[in-house]
Amino acid sequence: MTDVPPLPADETLADEALAALARALAHPARLQILRTLATRGTCVCGQIVDVLPLAQSTVSQHLKALREAGLICGETDGPRTCYCIDPTALARAEAAFAGLFGTLTAPASCCA
Amino acid sequence: MTDVPPLPADETLADEALAALARALAHPARLQILRTLATRGTCVCGQIVDVLPLAQSTVSQHLKALREAGLICGETDGPRTCYCIDPTALARAEAAFAGLFGTLTAPASCCA
DNA sequence: TTGTCTTATCGTAGATATACGATGATTGAC
DNA sequence: GTCAATCATCGTATATCTACGATAAGACAA
């Protein structure tokens, strides 16, 4: 029915990574955590718990998700853990999304 | 423990919408669908099914998700449905993500 | 050591996501 | 009308997500 090539393996890998990044951003609480970190620069877990209407364990899970996505990093500081945005990773994510949207300019559209 | 204000309601709404947008992008198959639409401009469902290693019903579900996110639109063309990227929505999404990353520049970082 | 504070992890329940085959609805050809 | 083609939806099984309380692990103070 069509003659589209079966898609290169590299792009599939990139899509996998980009999808993982999008999934990390796909929850309001995680966006709020990122905004809080951006505002305060550096946050101890308890400060984030105070901002969000969520239990401490839930916030910890979201922090873990953001850390596994590479968007934030946290280092132990005594009994606390200090979190912050990873500027390098953030720039990479920004570039990845910009690249995605850059390639999504359709040559034609059936929309209004 | 902290004095961070409880966050404005508008921003919560925006985060909700942005999270929904991110969730629409958070699957490799949907990214591939968008790329395919961008390359071909306009696609009938069957053409997308041929490109992806997924069943027709699964592809239809992904198309529905993208449509509900507003990123694509489809119009019936005889027994077929012709899909395409909605350029306006795409531009809005791009701006939303750019705005997000723009606000996420942290004043300080504990990362390397 | 003992106690307290902070955070991560465990266990779990419910919701959502993702996949498939089967079926239904609609169109166009005959 | 009948048949084939196309796509959406249904039903369902499995997996992942999200939330919570409870508990474990670690650091520091007394």
Secondary structure of B13-44 as H, E, C letters: HHHHHHHHHHHHHCCHHHHHHHHHHHHHCCEE
Residue B40: C-alpha distances to residues A17, A42, A106, B60, B83 (Å): 24, 45, 7, 18, 10
Q: Say how far apart CA A32 and CA A52 lie, in whole Å.
A: 8
Which nucleotide is closest to the Cα of B52 by its C1'? C19
DSSP-derived pairing of the beta strands A80-85 and A43-44 = antiparallel
Provide the mean pLDDT of chain B: 88
Residue A90: name the closest of A107, A62, A109, A66 by CA: A66
For residue A21, the model assigns a pLDDT of 97
For residue B3, the model assigns a pLDDT of 37
* B56-100 per-position pLDDT tens digit: 999 999 999 999 999 999 998 888 999 999 999 999 999 999 999
* B18-27 per-position pLDDT tens digit: 999 999 999 9
Please compute the mean of the pLDDT values over residues A25-36 and round it to a whole number. Answer: 96
Q: Indicate whether B10 pLDDT > 60.
A: no
Q: Say how far apart CA B22 and CA B54 lie, in whole Å.
A: 22
For residue A12, the model assigns a pLDDT of 59
Share in percent of chain A as helix, strand, coil (round to 5): 60, 10, 30
Q: Indicate whether A11 pLDDT > 80.
A: no
List the Cα angle B22/B94/A90 in 5-degree steps: 65
Provide the mean pLDDT of chain A: 88
Q: Say how far apart CA A94 and CA B10 lie, in whole Å.
A: 23
Q: Indicate whether B53 pLDDT > 70.
A: yes
Query: Scanning the structure block, which residue is given the tokens 């690249």?
Result: A99
For residue A33, the model assigns a pLDDT of 96
A78 CA to C2 C1', in Å? 19
A27: closest CA of chain B, how far (Å): 5
> For residue B86, which residues of chain A lie inside 8 Å, CB to CB?
109, 111
- pLDDT band (50, 70, 90) for residue B17: very high
Residue A108: C-alpha distances to residues A104, B11, B36 (Å): 11, 34, 12
SS3 (DSSP) at A74: strand
Q: Say how far apart CA A28 and CA B77 lie, in whole Å.
A: 37
- pLDDT band (50, 70, 90) for residue A105: confident
- pLDDT band (50, 70, 90) for residue A112: low
For residue B1, the model assigns a pLDDT of 39
> Is the entire prediction scored with pTM above 0.95?
no
Please compute the mean of the pLDDT values over residues A51-62 and round it to a whole number. Answer: 96
- Of residues B5 and A42, more confidently modeled: A42
Query: Scanning the structure block, which residue is given the tokens 């929309």?
Result: A111
For residue A63, the model assigns a pLDDT of 96
B79: closest CA of chain A, how far (Å): 15
**Amino acid (one-letter) located at B22:** A
Q: Is the CB of B45 under 7 A from strand D?
A: yes
For residue A5, the model assigns a pLDDT of 44
